[in-house]
A = this chain, B = another copy of it.
Amino acid sequence: MTMLHLNAFLMGVGHHEAAWRLPESDPFAQTDVEHFTRLARIAERGKLDSLFLADSPVLWNSIGRRPGGTLEPTVLLTALAGATDHIGLIATASTTYNEPFNLARRFASLDHISGGRAGWNIVTTAGEQAARNFNLDHLPAHRDRYERAAEFIEVSLKLWDSWDDAAPLGDKDAGRWGDDDLLYPPEHSGRYFRVAGPLNVPRSPQGYPLLVQAGSSEDGKELAARYAEAVFTAQQTLAEGQAFYRDLKRRTAQLGRDPDTIKILPGIVPAIGATEAEARALEDELDRLIKPEYARQQLATTLRVAPEDLDLDKELPADLPSEDEIEGAKSRYTLIVTLARRERLTVRQLIGRLGGGRGHRTFAGTPEQVADAIEEWYRGGAADGFNIMPPVLPSGLETFVDHVVPILQRRGLFRTEYTGATLRDHYRLPRPANQFTRQLAAASR
């Protein structure tokens, strides 16, 4: 039987925006490497496939509201590589605000340093403010960002394959370190990039990092179907999760890829208690600590309305823009509006739900109930695994690992030991062949 996959999505002292206000939380943990080292070791103790750090090259929000400023993920993951032995390490990096040569090199370096445990969550970065940190006045159009992303990935794949696995020889006697004929400089020339290459890092243990994608817009799903090996997604109901899963597997198959080579991991924000009442009490305590004025401001920005148009004790206004008019994070916009309309939430209730998981599925219950919820989606064809987003860190991850993982293991749904060495091994994906080596072999047949 195949097993499900589990990723630990690490974010400061937790995914709930008020987590930092709990007595147990260190409010300055988001820049403390020891905090992340501890989290990584807990996740590895639970035999999780991977851990993940989100990112955007911009200060997210008011620092009044919640902890601001985060360590750059490729750098932080390198520190975590040294503190762990098995767990995969996935970092978000933007195709809109990086150069392929530099980013491909950092991920190749991380893959070498971690012994083949690197993964790249490919994002195009929404938001006007990020654009203004990179010589632009406005965010490039959604379609342009995705076209650039596709070319960025193509260039990166060429750079990672620009060294044959057999290029390094180390022949001391002949004084010949490598075979220059086994370098394949891409000499890429496209709409967004011209990159000669080759990369200045030999091909890495995994060939290249696991490719991960997280946007669920039309453009995002097309990119995922083409390139992604794992997908993070926010789905609120089993039916929605099933529809997304079927759609993405179908798109992947239509492109001639084996649909098993793309792993779909919906997010879940589990508030776990010894009893259901205890779990709900934790959720309530966190929601009470949210300051609604900040959250209303952010919601208004996302919805493109004035903050004063959002009455905390009423539902959302009826006349909101359609997704087509949004150039930012399209799928996130639709998810928020759909959630609010379906459950007829007041703005205050919506803020509570978003503060808990930013649109991801929140779930309060006992370890048994959390395991049931995971198993239901997994067996129901809505997930190949889950993106675990503890509301409070480290305690929420510790509880998940110590109390939910053993249940999943007893049910035969999750590994009890690591059996492979690399991140792709954990996700049961093959090491990719070198595209140039393959072309040369085909040409010589």
Taking Cβ atoms with an 8 Å cutoff, the residues of A that contact B are: 18, 20-23, 25, 27-28, 31-33, 56-60, 62-72, 74-76, 78-79, 81-83, 97-99, 101-102, 105-106, 109-110, 112-113, 129, 132-137, 163, 167-168, 170, 172, 175-180, 183, 193-202, 289, 291
Q: Which residues of B contact A195 (CB under 8 A)?
A: 132-135
Q: Which of B21, B64, B79, B129 contacts A178 (CB 8 A)?
A: B64
A74–B71 alpha-carbon span in the complex (Å):
13
Q: Which 8 A-B pairs have the closest CB atoms?
A: A63-B178, A27-B170, A132-B196, A78-B78, A71-B109, A82-B82, A59-B200, A72-B109
Main secondary structure, interface of A, reads: loop
In the assembled complex, the CB of A355 is this many whole angstroms from the nearest CB of chain B, namely 12
CB pair A109–B63 under 8 Å, yes or no, is no
**A64-B113 contact, Cβ under 8 Å, with A195-B133, A200-B58:** no
**A99-B175 contact, Cβ under 8 Å, with A79-B81, A200-B60, A200-B69:** no
CB pair B75–A113 under 8 Å, yes or no, is yes
Q: Which of B69, B79, B193 contacts A201 (CB 8 A)?
A: B69
- A sample of 21 inter-chain contacts (CB < 8 A) reads A20-B172, A25-B172, A31-B202, A58-B200, A59-B198, A63-B178, A65-B177, A67-B178, A68-B168, A69-B163, A69-B201, A71-B112, A72-B106, A75-B113, A76-B109, A79-B82, A97-B99, A98-B102, A101-B134, A133-B195, A135-B195
Q: Which of B21, B58, B76, B200 contacts A175 (CB 8 A)?
A: B21
Q: Which residues of B contact A68 (CB under 8 A)?
A: 168, 177-178, 200, 202
Q: Which residues of B contact A168 (CB under 8 A)?
A: 27-28, 63, 67-68
In the assembled complex, the CB of A165 is this many whole angstroms from the nearest CB of chain B, namely 13
In the assembled complex, the CB of A221 is this many whole angstroms from the nearest CB of chain B, namely 28
Which residue of chain B has its CB nearest to the CB of A173? B21
A387–B170 alpha-carbon span in the complex (Å):
28
**A289-B175 contact, Cβ under 8 Å, with A57-B101, A71-B109, A79-B82:** yes
A83–B69 alpha-carbon span in the complex (Å):
25
Which residue of chain B has its CB nearest to the CB of A131? B196
Q: Which of B56, B69, B74, B101 contacts A133 (CB 8 A)?
A: B101
CB pair A64–B133 under 8 Å, yes or no, is no
Q: Which residues of B contact A81 (CB under 8 A)?
A: 79
Apart from A76-B113, A99-B134, what 13 extra A-B contacts exist at CB < 8 Å?
Answer: A18-B175, A20-B177, A59-B197, A59-B198, A67-B178, A69-B163, A72-B102, A75-B106, A78-B79, A79-B79, A82-B82, A132-B196, A135-B194
Which residue of chain B has its CB nearest to the CB of A204? B31
Q: Which residues of B contact A193 (CB under 8 A)?
A: 135
